[in-house]
Amino acid sequence: MNRFQVISMDNNKLTHLDDKGNPSMVDIGKKPVTRRTAKARSTIILPENVFDLLENEDIQTKKGPVFRTAILAGIMAAKKTGELIPLCHPLGLDNCTVDIRINTNKEIEVDCTASLTAKTGVEMEALVGASIAALTIYDMCKAFSHDIIIKETCLMEKTGGKRDFKRDDA
């Protein structure tokens, strides 16, 4: 099996393919409405010269405050996920937050948490929000250095739907 295929745990078949193998949006019409939340994290490594520009928990540039701009970009991106990811349902989020902090390894952690009451989950919205916020940090800091690494983006936890998930280090 291709490692990029999505498998439904219930019936061991691809969820975004119809019976003929063509791409298809998942029919959520008969699913129950439940409260759903998801939190995703992107981790960024800044070179020392960029990290040294941190002042009052943000980096100031000619384009504006980096982290505050990234927060807005992440929220805006999460709201547009259904337009960006093929076959992703368009969702009206009840809430979306982006939190940026420095961890003990001197890395930037961007957490995006999305929530709604609906028939489908918000994992993609949280992942897109965290990713775009991280890319915004890269874009705004690249004038100082191109040696910026977006190390990873991953789902940290989700609730609602068929099963909950929580990463051990969430």
Q: Just list the catalytic residues.
A: 139
Q: Which among 106, 107, 114, 148 has a CA at the least distance from the CA of 130? A: 114
Q: Are 116 and 79 in contact (CB under 8 A)?
A: no
Q: Which two three-digit tokens encode residue 147?
A: 């040696």
CA distance 36 to 159: 5
DSSP 3-state of 55:
strand
DSSP, res 90:
P
Pick from 122, 110, 105, 38: which is nearest to 71 by CA? Answer: 110
- Among 122, 128, 124, which Cα is nearest to 94's? 122
Residue 66 DSSP SS3: helix
